[in-house]
Amino acid sequence: MRESSTRQPVPLPKAYRLLNHGPTVLVTSAHGGRRNVMAAAWNMALDFDPPKVAVVIDKSTVTRELVEASGKFALNVPARGIASHVLAVGRMSARELDVNIHENKFAAYGLQTFVGNDPELPHVEGCVAWLECKVIPEPHIENTYDLFLGEVTAAWADSRVFSNGHWTYDANTPSELQTLHYVAGGTFLAVADSFESHPTLINS
């Protein structure tokens, strides 16, 4: 993995917390010399030990082809600084690219990448968390619902906004590091301040 002063490993039992607040993700995949990236708002954490995730990958996508062929994918949690890129790769299919001009969507939109533990899987710069996953084969739900399950095999997060197993957003967090939450029509919500609450028992 390319060195970064802010990119730190996340213990796998805490990896579910990278997705638990519902961010939009970038799904990256690679196989046979091809690689691709797509946006996915429909994703979630499923378990914490071992950590498992779920993500919807449509049958029509190049990402689906690469994930089915390789048996793996990565989930990248993008930040507000690359919101326009997230929207772009979510709206354009790799099948629409003129390969004589751009080799893939990474090149078309100027997305920089690095590799983690798996030398084949690309991870996107400008994100604040990254999860490498191996597919847990479930042919029925994959074919019926386009839903893929994955076991997280490695995870990292940006220490400026995630440390000791928790997101650390507050009023002083730079806006470009805020995670994205897609609504519709090109509109996102960004994560705001965190706060703690405690249950209160009402005496009868």
User: Domains in the chain, ordered, with CATH?
Assistant: 7-190 (2.30.110.10)
Q: Residue 17 and residue 62: Cα distance in Å, rounded?
A: 28
14-54 residue pLDDT tens: 999 999 999 999 999 999 999 999 999 999 999 999 999 99
Q: Residue 100 and residue 85: Cα distance in Å, rounded?
A: 21
Q: Which residues share a beta bridge with 34?
A: 31
Contact (CB, 8 A) for 162 and 155: no
State residue 3's pLDDT score. Answer: 59
Q: Which residues of the chain have pLDDT under 50?
A: none
Assessment of whether the complete model's pTM goes beyond 0.85: yes
Q: Residue 114 and residue 3: Cα distance in Å, rounded?
A: 9
State residue 120's pLDDT score. Answer: 94
State residue 204's pLDDT score. Answer: 60
Q: What is the mean pLDDT of the chain?
A: 91
State residue 98's pLDDT score. Answer: 60
Instruction: Please return the burial class of 190, using the count of CB atoms within 10 Å of its CB with bins 0-12, 13-18 and 19+.
Output: middle
Torsion of CA 66, 179, 6, 9, to 10 degrees: -50
Q: Which residues share a beta bridge with 156?
A: 9, 130
State residue 1's pLDDT score. Answer: 57
Contact (CB, 8 A) for 46 and 19: no
Instruction: Please return the burial class of 31, using the count of CB atoms within 10 Å of its CB with bins 0-12, 13-18 and 19+.
Output: middle
Q: Residue 127 and residue 91: Cα distance in Å, rounded?
A: 19
With H, G, I as helix, E, B as strand and everything else as coil, classify residue 69: helix
pLDDT over 90 for what percent of the chain? Answer: 74
State residue 2's pLDDT score. Answer: 58
